[in-house]
A and B are shown apart, each in its own frame.
Chain A
Amino acid sequence: MDNNTTSFGFKATPLIALALCFAAFATVPFWAEKGLVFLAGILMLQIVFALSFNLIFGLTGLVSFGQAAFFAAGAYASAWLSSYAPDLPFVLTLAFGGLVGALLSVLIGMVALHRASGIYFAILTLALGQLIYTLIGKSTALGREDGLIGITRPNLNFGLFEIDLSRGDDYYYLIFVASAGMIVSLWWVWHGTLGRTLSAIRQEPERIRFLGVNVRRYREYAFVISGTVTALAGALLAPWSQIITPMIAHWSYSALPILFCLLGGSTRFWGPAVGAIVFAGLEHSTRNMFGMAELIVGGALLFVVLAMPGGILGTIALLRQKILSPAEGRPSDE
């Protein structure tokens, strides 16, 4: 095989992998049992959660430990509204979840991004996130520690016809379409002018400031976009899982997207998605090793993070580079 063919093959591989993933998620209800379909729905929302988080983590260079607060805000806001006003169209309750997430991210962003950066920013987001967790756990309207139970799946009313999302796999496909839409939007932000500016801010914030860019304002944009998309993912989760508990606002839930980013590679757009899929696979395959599951998953993650500093995608890219240009990276003979 000549070098050009190898190069073409490698370039086509990510697209093929993406198409395979797309096809796999699109067809899960046809070949998997109910439990796996349910987990696939959760996984799609976790991928959106992780990709939106990576907008501030991998792209903008801010470490937030409070991302779960937005996820919970979206989930609780939409679930609460749908139980309070059950006749409201589902799209409105979904939008309400996103709006609450957006407002919360504006507020937290204003506080946390005001002069804070690095470890101070991380601790501040952790504290504010835990504040949201405590507020939810103490709120009787939100079910306190028990959470909201028995959330019903809605009807989509299009005037001429209705789709009952509680039947069959209809809600799964709603998640599929909505997740695809949100992922495309995030991809557009990542690869557009805003994404390039954010990337430049991560690399050289001082230099970018000298160029006349309002760094804080741009970081706030990233924070709000990330928080809003995360909240929308949370709002979609509530009718799918039909139960939400304060645990989705807990700091340990905020650690999940960080883990996905480190696992898959935070410098690449698809890194967190790969991380989420690998993590879900590990968790699912060890679920019956009671008591040992956490040890095995933890050990495997530790290995990946230590042995593959660029994550799975980073390591694949490195290997690809070595295969395509074997001379690179070797000490010179001269």
Chain B
Amino acid sequence: MVQISRRKVLHLMGAGVATSALSAPMYARAQSAPYKMGFVSALSGPAEALGRPMLFGAQLAVDEINAAGGINGRSIELHVRDTKAKPDTGTVAARELIGEGCNMLLGCVSSSVALAINGILKQENATLITAAAHSLRLTHEDFNRHYFRVTDNPYMRQRAQAKLMAELYPDVTSWGGLIPDHEYGRSTWEAYRHGLNTFYPELAGVQPTISDPILTQYGGSDYRNYIASALRDPAVGFFSSLYGGDAISLFQQAKPYGFFQKKAPFMDSANEFIAARAMKQELPEMWVGSHWYFGAFKGNEISDRLYNKYQEETGNKHPDGFVSEGHATVMAYAGALAKAPEGSTEEVISALEGLTFETATGSRTLRAEDHQAIKPVIIYRLRGADNDAGFEIMEYRVIDGAETIEDATPGQPVNW
């Protein structure tokens, strides 16, 4: 039998008291230590134009929250890493951030990067909320509980775009596509094609003719062969989901061929004002998908504040939707942390599921089943113009996200 002397008990008690006395300040420090968030997005390379505004929005949200006293009395610390829109660089950046104690990751322009980081989240016990990265696989085939998306997805946006085309251009019944040969490109085309096949018969009374898409390389510099292939294609209307520098190169190289006169209407998946700012008066007329258009949400307090702040700090009067999405990722975490003050990964996941929070496009809800946000889809028509900006917004549409969202089938393909 083990004998325990009184002296031993006193020693143990003394050690216990000492440990408690030492650990009390540590516990207090943990309770007041900042929440660490890790921002991972493209801050250099062809997708820099998408990642920079995203960082602006996220940083602004962090600054606003900290200025208001933080969450649960704790401030937010934002650690930033560049993914260069490359999956392997993205996973290195994510692992490094997690190593620094950032179990709440946010950002991501590219679906490939998000899919890559998604693969390590469970093992590394972290969460990721993406502000773009539209691949449907993230909330379907490759779904895992650690991933959330605060923005729309191709099912929502591309089907809304296809529906709009069927409403406005019922006579344009042949369509083609220029898409990047990676997950995002294939997801967008699949959804757009499905939308055309659904809405043209329904709204225009005709079955559209859809050509095979022309697959382009990510990060390419010479798109003339692809443009020549597109010009040979009998399709009249064209859809493109190239983004950032790739899209600008494509548009600039396509213009001298009269591409945009021969292939109209032209629907751009998601370039916001990026190509317009680069091409200015040279911008051909096109419909463009967006995450947020400040003009459509006048009166929304967050939207107005974001717009004013962005304009004040950058001098740019046309902020891209990535600003609002970067802001929304931090707002989502802030909402979750208010309900889960410890900030542990498991608690944050539970708090995010079904969370409704305020953003520049109004209230958004993260669907509990597949972690997809229900938010509006924004589409506007742009063209080059003789004004200060060099382009103008001819018209815009805001489509309710609840009308366009797909059925939640986490772990399963989209139920088309």
**A interface vs B, CB < 8 Å?**
32-39, 42, 137, 144-147, 149-151, 166, 241-245, 247-248, 287-288, 290-291, 293-294
Contacts and interface: CB of A to CB of B under 8 A. Distances in A.
B285 to A, nearest CB: 30
Interface string B63-97: 00000000000000000111000111001100111
B236 interface: no
B96 A245 contact: no
B44 A35 contact: no
B218 interface: yes
Interface of B: 43-44, 48, 80-82, 86-88, 91-92, 95-100, 112, 115-116, 118-120, 123-124, 142, 180-183, 217-218
A33 B123 contact: no
Contact of B48 (A146, A150, A243, A291): A291
B88 A247 contact: yes
Contact of B99 (A36, A144, A247, A287): A36
Nearest to B90: A243
A287 B182 contact: no
A2 to B, nearest CB: 48
Contacts of B181: 137, 144-145
10 contacts: A33-B96, A34-B98, A36-B99, A38-B99, A39-B96, A145-B112, A146-B112, A149-B87, A243-B87, A290-B43
Contacts of A33: 96, 99-100
Nearest to A145: B182
B50 to A, nearest CB: 14
A37 B92 CA distance: 10
B119 A245 contact: no
A245 B112 contact: yes
Contacts of A245: 86-88, 112
Contacts of B218: 145
Given A144-B181, A147-B87, A287-B81, A38 B95 contact: yes
Given A33-B99, A33-B100, A34-B99, 16 more contacts: A35-B99, A36-B99, A37-B99, A38-B99, A145-B181, A146-B182, A149-B119, A243-B119, A244-B88, A245-B86, A248-B88, A290-B44, A291-B43, A291-B48, A293-B44, A293-B82
B115 A149 contact: yes
Contacts of A42: 92
A32 B96 CA distance: 11
Nearest to A290: B43
A35 B92 contact: yes
A199 B88 CA distance: 36
Contact of B95 (A34, A150, A244, A291): A34
A249 to B, nearest CB: 12
Contact of B96 (A36, A151, A242): A36
B98 A242 contact: no
Nearest to B184: A146
A258 B43 CA distance: 27
A297 to B, nearest CB: 12
